[in-house]
């Protein structure tokens, strides 16, 4: 049983930024302002990293990450 009241750890925030976070944990994120702040910060870091050539292993990887980030964060709407 997943305890949705538990805060996300850094691994889970990373998964969220990649669009891979399980729905049960995403529900906590939608409810928890602390985790939202952490997740937003992590997402911004990732967005910056993928734009740096030395951190991009391949154009395909950056494109996939960017596509997922866009799909999961449409204009910062957390209620969706």
Binding site for Zn ion (CB under 5 A): 7, 32, 34-35
CB of 28 to Zn ion, least distance (A): 6
Q: Provide the minimum distance between the beta carbon of 74 and Zn ion in the complex, in angstroms, as a whole number.
A: 21
CB of 31 to Zn ion, least distance (A): 8
Closest to Zn ion by CB, 32 or 56: 32
* Residue placing its CB nearer to Zn ion in the complex, 7 or 41: 7
A 10 A CB-CB count for 16 gives 24
């Amino acid at each position: 049983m997943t305890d949705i009241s538990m805060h996300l750890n850094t691994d889970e925030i990373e998964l969220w930024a990649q669009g891979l976070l399980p729905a049960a944990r995403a529900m906590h994120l939608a409810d928890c302002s602390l985790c939202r702040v952490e997740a937003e910060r992590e997402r911004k870091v990732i967005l910056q990293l993928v734009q740096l050539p030395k951190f991009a292993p391949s154009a395909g990887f950056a494109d996939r990450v960017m596509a997922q980030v866009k799909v999961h964060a449409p204009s910062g709407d957390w209620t969706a």
